[in-house]
Amino acid sequence: MTLALDLLRVVTGREACGERRVALGRAGTLCSDRSVGFALWDRKNRHLEKTEVHSFSLKDAVRQQFRRSEGGHLMGLDFVAVDFETANHDPSSACAIGLAFVRDGRLTASTSYLIRPPSHRFVFTCVHGLTWDDVRDAPTFSDLWDDLRDQLRSEILVAHNAAFDKAVLSECLLYYGIRYRLNPFLCSMQLSKEAFGFSHLKLDYICKQLEIDLQHHEAESDAKAAANIVIKAASRLGSVDARSLFEFCRS
């Protein structure tokens, strides 16, 4: 972040009664969800500014911190968005992957790969339009892994309904016996709820509301859409990095 703001520990009446303090070692790394007052240390202007708040929730504190950052700049917002399509209900049956790359809050590149799944059985052709004939000559996940591993080297990965894509990645690695420590996943679906207040969270609906182009269930398009949701959410919240957004959604 261009302007680094740290939440500092401030003793409040609640803390005197035994409640934990809130501390932010670096932007977004929160260690308590108690209601507290807090202070902001402005490293750029070298002063401490105390916020006169008697009861302040964790998410409110994060939003306040984000909004006090330099507006309009998303320097440091770096991540890779991922979208898998599967042939059937088996999470190891990935038949396509889309990747979208964001650097400093800008979508800089995207790509996609067809994947030959372990089984010929296709159940979700009606969803993504892919059949066995489309992927019979495609590389397996194992064949692609060296390229994918290099492209997935991001502190935070992003996906819409991240639990699904994380499970697919995990099961594909397990199926082929590939040892790899999974990156944390930031869910653009959850983030859109927190940042925009949406109650309907399907990708096509959110993209329509935010005016994001989408060719739904085309892996590269879905990955780009998830990336753009995060960019718009980060802009709404203020200047943050992907780790801050990840912690914000976890809190």
Summarised one tens digit per residue, pLDDT across range 80-102 is: 999 999 999 999 999 999 999 99
- Does the pLDDT at position 6 exceed 80? no
Domain ranges (residues) in the chain: 5-68, 79-250
- Does the pLDDT at position 127 exceed 60? yes
Determine whether 7 is exposed, middle or buried from the number of CB atoms within 10 Å of its CB (0-12, 13-18, 19+): buried
- Does the pLDDT at position 106 exceed 60? yes
Rounded alpha-carbon distances, angstroms, from residue 41 to 31, 56, 76, 100, 207: 17, 17, 20, 34, 37
Between 13-22, 110-119, 126-135, the lowest mean confidence (pLDDT) is in: 13-22
From CA 203, how far away is CA 206, in angstroms rounded?
5
Give the pLDDT confidence score for residue 34 in this predicted structure: 35
Residues in the chain: 251
- CA 93 from chain centre, in angstroms, equals 23
Give the pLDDT confidence score for residue 50 in this predicted structure: 36
**Span 183-205, pLDDT tens digits:** 999 999 999 999 999 999 999 99
From CA 14, how far away is CA 35, in angstroms rounded?
8
Query: Who has greater pLDDT, 75 or 217?
Result: 217
Q: Which residue has the tokens 């803390």?
A: 15
Give the pLDDT confidence score for residue 59 in this predicted structure: 54
- Does the pLDDT at position 42 exceed 50? no
Query: Who has greater pLDDT, 71 or 127?
Result: 127
pLDDT-based confidence at 239, cuts 50/70/90? low
Query: Who has greater pLDDT, 117 or 41?
Result: 117
From CA 70, how far away is CA 190, in angstroms rounded?
25
Give the pLDDT confidence score for residue 40 in this predicted structure: 40
Arithmetic mean of pLDDT, 107-133: 98
79 within 8 A of 242, measured Cβ to Cβ: yes
- Quick one: CA dihedral 170, 174, 178, 179, positive or negative? positive
Domain 79-250 has CATH 1.10.357.10: no
From CA 241, how far away is CA 209, in angstroms rounded?
24
Q: What is the pTM of this model?
A: 0.73
Arithmetic mean of pLDDT, 6-24: 34
pLDDT-based confidence at 19, cuts 50/70/90? very low
What strands, in cross-sheet order, belong to the sheet with 47-51? Answer: 5-8, 38-42, 47-51
pLDDT-based confidence at 230, cuts 50/70/90? very high
- Does the pLDDT at position 77 exceed 50? yes
